[in-house]
């Protein structure tokens, strides 16, 4: 039972740092467009050189291996520049949400031990920036016309270094800072689930939401284009304009936004090749209508806690292959180098069709919770069915395996008193 339902093993992929993989892509396609936002565009070479210059400033400001650097910036071409610069300097980025209370943002700065807070002209006046307990650096200065500096040699960056710390909502207690490594993100970005359809990806999720990891790194590490949505709220009308104007080929929508798109402008789905959705249980009604109205678009129901680096599973529905909705939409099968277990209370695999806790092992399993070793030890445990030293994340989600090998998500284990299989 423990051997069932795992993703494709990828012996061809050695663990790598994001800095290393991005440098390889720059060498392959220096002149190709890497990021666009409105009328502003950067090629891979321009993104590389601009992030080099900012990395030099960060290094001069004391950023070194795994130094936390917080980001409170609007969506623009400067955001990928800032993220890459932090990683090149050896640091890790801590995305802050503009809508969070100021006290919480300051708590996050202090809790992570942030060395710096990166802001831009749009967020410089934000109260959390004006009253920041840590030094603030304008990531957009010096001006674009400033003379280029020779890039400072990067400190060695290993795949097991942290790339970012992302905070959970804290809806069930104190927010948890989840430390995700370069190797975790590299494994996600290079997954075979992201094929040719993921060449022009819409980046509209807040940076503090882990879907942004897919939106940025899947296209950047494959020579694709990151299309940054303009700042502010993106409604269905804005989505439709962006898809049309930039010829978006794929995007991620939360389940709630996907349902709204299906209700308000389902024709938008016909203009993209793949739509990934997740974050909560999928609506069979919305999926059925989308399949009917967008017969050439692949729909993917994805699942994955932040602790497993954005996505751990995916279920593809391709109308051209005769896909239909028949009741509950499963969360599907594991991504590459990912192991899925449905376990009972004693950690033993349950039979097919029985309900248990979903546990995830493999290359996406994060390092753990920042500064909380006890909680990390409880949730990130040794994988008894994996290779020596392997770990798995206990999701707290209920699941069961279907006869076809796909997995059903059945809700949280702490919100159900009685379980009927």
CATH code of the domain in which 89 resides: 3.40.50.980
Together in a domain, 370 and 283: yes
- pTM (2 d.p.): 0.94
Q: Give pLDDT, residue 146.
A: 47
Query: Which residues in the chain come in under a pLDDT of 50?
Result: 143-147, 416-421
| Distance in Å from the first CA to the final CA of the chain | 18
Q: Give pLDDT, residue 178.
A: 98
Beta strand 116-119 with 136-138: parallel, antiparallel or unpaired? parallel
Strands (E), 246-353: 250-254, 274-278, 298-303, 313-317, 333-334, 338-343
Q: Give pLDDT, residue 416.
A: 41
Q: Give pLDDT, residue 154.
A: 79
For 277, phi and psi rounded to 5 degrees? Answer: -145, 155
DSSP annotation of 32? S
Q: Give pLDDT, residue 411.
A: 87
Q: How far apart are CA 349 and CA 62, in angstroms?
A: 48
Together in a domain, 119 and 47: yes
Together in a domain, 210 and 327: yes
Together in a domain, 219 and 95: no
Together in a domain, 124 and 189: no
Give a yes or no: residue 160 inside a domain.
no
Q: Give pLDDT, residue 421.
A: 29
Strands (E), 261-322: 274-278, 298-303, 313-317
Q: What is the DSSP string of 178-222?
A: EEEEHHHHHHHHT-TTS-GGGSEEEE-S-TTSTHHHHHHHHHHTT
Together in a domain, 103 and 200: no
Q: How far apart are CA 310 and CA 210, in angstroms?
A: 6
Together in a domain, 131 and 205: no
Q: How many Cα atoms are found within 13 Å in the side-chain-facing hemisphere of 17?
A: 21
Last residue of a domain, one of 111, 140, 169: 140
State which residues form the domain around 385.
Answer: 184-412
Together in a domain, 199 and 123: no
Give a yes or no: residue 381 inside a domain.
yes
Together in a domain, 319 and 392: yes
Q: What is the CATH number of the domain that holds 335?
A: 3.40.50.12780
Together in a domain, 200 and 340: yes
Q: Give pLDDT, residue 145.
A: 44
Give a yes or no: residue 155 inside a domain.
no
Q: How far apart are CA 85 and CA 80, in angstroms?
A: 8
Q: How far apart are CA 47 and CA 16, in angstroms?
A: 20
Give a yes or no: residue 309 inside a domain.
yes
Q: Give pLDDT, residue 1.
A: 62
Q: How far apart are CA 80 and CA 289, in angstroms?
A: 35
**Scanning the structure block, which residue is given the tokens 């009308």?**
237
What pLDDT digit, counting tens, does each position of 292-337 carry? 999 999 999 999 999 999 999 999 999 999 888 988 999 999 999 9
For 368, phi and psi rounded to 5 degrees? Answer: 150, -165
Give a yes or no: residue 33 inside a domain.
no
Together in a domain, 205 and 344: yes
Q: How far apart are CA 170 and CA 120, in angstroms?
A: 27
The number of folded domains in the chain is: 2
Together in a domain, 117 and 230: no
Beta partners for residue 43, in sequence order: 33
Helix (H, G, I), strand (E, B) or coil at 359: strand
Q: How far apart are CA 352 and CA 88, in angstroms?
A: 46
């Amino acid at each position: 039972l423990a051997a069932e339902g795992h993703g494709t093993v990828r012996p061809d992929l050695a663990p790598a740092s994001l800095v290393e993989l991005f440098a390889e892509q720059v060498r392959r396609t220096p002149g190709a467009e890497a990021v666009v936002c409105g009328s502003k565009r950067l090629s891979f070479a321009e993104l590389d050189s601009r992030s080099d210059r900012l990395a030099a400033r960060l290094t001069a400001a004391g950023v070194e291996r795994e130094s936390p650097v917080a980001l409170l910036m609007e969506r623009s071409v400067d955001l990928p520049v800032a993220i890459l610069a932090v990683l090149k300097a050896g640091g890790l980025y801590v995305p802050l949400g503009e809508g969070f209370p100021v006290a919480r943002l300051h708590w996050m700065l202090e809790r992570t031990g942030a060395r710096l807070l990166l802001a831009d002209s749009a967020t410089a006046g934000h109260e959390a920036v004006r009253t920041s307990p840590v030094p603030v650096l304008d990531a957009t200065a010096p001006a674009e016309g400033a003379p280029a500096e020779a890039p400072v040699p990067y400190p060695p960056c290993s795949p097991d270094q942290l790339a970012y710390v992302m905070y959970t909502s804290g809806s069930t207690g104190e927010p948890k800072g989840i430390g995700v490594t370069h190797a975790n993100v590299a494994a996600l970005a290079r997954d075979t689930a992201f094929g040719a359809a993921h060449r022009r990806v819409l980046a509209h999720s807040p940076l503090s939401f882990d879907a942004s990891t897919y939106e940025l790194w899947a296209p950047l590490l494959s020579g694709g284009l990151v299309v940054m949505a303009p700042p502010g709220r993106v409604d269905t009308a804005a989505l439709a304009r962006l898809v049309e104007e930039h010829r978006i080929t794929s995007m991620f929508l939360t389940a709630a936004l996907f349902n709204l798109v299906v209700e308000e402008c389902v024709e938008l789905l016909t203009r993209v090749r793949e739509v990934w959705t997740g974050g909560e249980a999928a609506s069979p009604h919305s999926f059925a209508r989308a399949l009917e109205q967008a017969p050439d678009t692949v729909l993917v129901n994805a699942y994955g806690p932040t602790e497993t680096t954005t996505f751990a599973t995916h279920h593809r529905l391709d109308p051209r292959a005769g896909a239909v909705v028949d009741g509950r939409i499963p969360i599907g099968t594991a991504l590459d180098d990912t192991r899925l277990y449905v376990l009972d209370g004693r950690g033993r695999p349950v039979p097919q069709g029985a309900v248990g806790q979903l546990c995830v092992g493999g290359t996406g399993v994060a390092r753990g919770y920042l500064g909380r070793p006890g909680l990390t030890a409880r949730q990130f445990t040794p994988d008894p069915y994996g290779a020596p030293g392997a770990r798995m994340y206990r999701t707290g989600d209920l699941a069961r395996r279907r006869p076809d090998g796909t997995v059903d998500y059945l809700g949280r284990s702490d919100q159900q008193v009685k379980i009927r299989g």
